[in-house]
Chain A
Amino acid sequence: MVEVTLWGALSQLAGGKSKVEVEAKDIRELFRKLAEQYPGFEPWIDRGIAVAIDGVIYRDTWGKKLPEGAEVFLLPRLAGG
Chain B
Amino acid sequence: MNFDPRYANRNFASVGTRPIRPDGIDKVTGRARYGADFNMAGQLVGRVLRSPHAHAKIRKIDTSKAEKLQGVKAVITAADLPDLTDGDAAMYDILDNCMARAKALYDGHAVAAVAAIDARTARQALKLIEIDYEVLPHVTDVDEAMRHHAPLINDTIFTEGLEEKPAKPSNVTKRSQFGHGDVHAGFGAADFIVERSFRTEQTHQGYIEPHACVASVNLDGTAELWVCTQGHFVYRQHCAQLLGLEASKLRVTSSEIGGGFGGKTHVWAEPVALALSRKAGRPVKLVMTRDEVFRASGPTSATSIDVRIGARKDGTITAAEATLRYSSGPYAGSWAEIGAMTAFACYKLDNVRTVGYEVLVNRPKTAAYRAPSAPMAAFAVESAVDELAKEIGIDPVDFRIKNAAQEGTRSSYGPVYGPIGIGPTLEAVKNHPHMKAPLKQNQGRGMACGFWFNFGGQTCVDLNIGMDGSVSLAVGTVDVGGSRASLSLVAAEELGIDYSQLKAIVADTASLGYNDMTDGSRGTFSSSMATISAARNAIKILRDRAAQMWDIPVEDVIWEQGHAVAKGDNYGNLGKLSLKEIAAQSGKTGGPIAGHSELVADGAGVSFATHICDVEVDPETGATRVIRYTVVQDAGKAVHPTYVEGQYQGGAAQGIGWALNEEYIYGKDGRLQNAGFLDYRIPVCSDLPMIDTQILEIPNPNHPYGVRGVGETSIVPPLAAIANAVSNAAGVRMTHIPMSPPRILAAIEAEREG
Contact = CB atoms under 8 A, between A and B. Distances in A.
A55 B372 contact: no
Interface string B351-368: 000000000000000001
Given A60-B458, A80-B372, A81-B519, A71 B90 contact: no
Interface stretch (B64-72, B286-294, B409-417): B409-417
B160 interface: yes
A66 interface: no
A67 B160 CA distance: 33
Size class of the contact patch on chain B: 35 or more
B520 A81 contact: yes
A78 B338 CA distance: 7
Interface in A38-81: 47, 52, 54-61, 64, 71, 73, 75-76, 78-81
A73 B180 CA distance: 13
A55 B457 contact: no
Contact of A61 (B1, B205, B263): B1
Contacts of A78: 334, 337-338, 341, 453, 455, 520
B415 A52 contact: yes
A8 B519 contact: no
B337 A76 contact: yes
Contacts of A81: 205, 261-263, 265, 368-372, 519-520, 711-712
B414 A76 contact: no
A37 interface: no
Interface in B172-225: 174-178, 205
B175 to A, nearest CB: 8
B736 interface: no
Contacts of B702: 56
B602 interface: yes
Contacts of A57: 415, 453, 602-604
Nearest to B456: A59
A61 B600 contact: yes
B521 interface: yes
B600 A80 contact: no
Contact of B372 (A16, A61, A71, A79): A79
Contacts of B454: 80
B415 A55 contact: yes
Contacts of A60: 456-458, 600, 602
Contacts of A12: 161-163
Contact of A71 (B1, B415, B711): B415
Interface string B511-528: 000000001111000000
A76 B522 contact: no
B523 to A, nearest CB: 10
B5 to A, nearest CB: 10
Given A12-B162, A56-B602, A75-B341, 20 more contacts: A5-B414, A7-B176, A7-B413, A47-B90, A52-B414, A56-B603, A57-B453, A58-B603, A59-B602, A60-B602, A71-B416, A76-B334, A76-B341, A78-B334, A80-B372, A80-B454, A80-B455, A81-B261, A81-B368, A81-B711
6 contacts: A9-B161, A59-B457, A79-B338, A80-B372, A80-B520, A81-B205
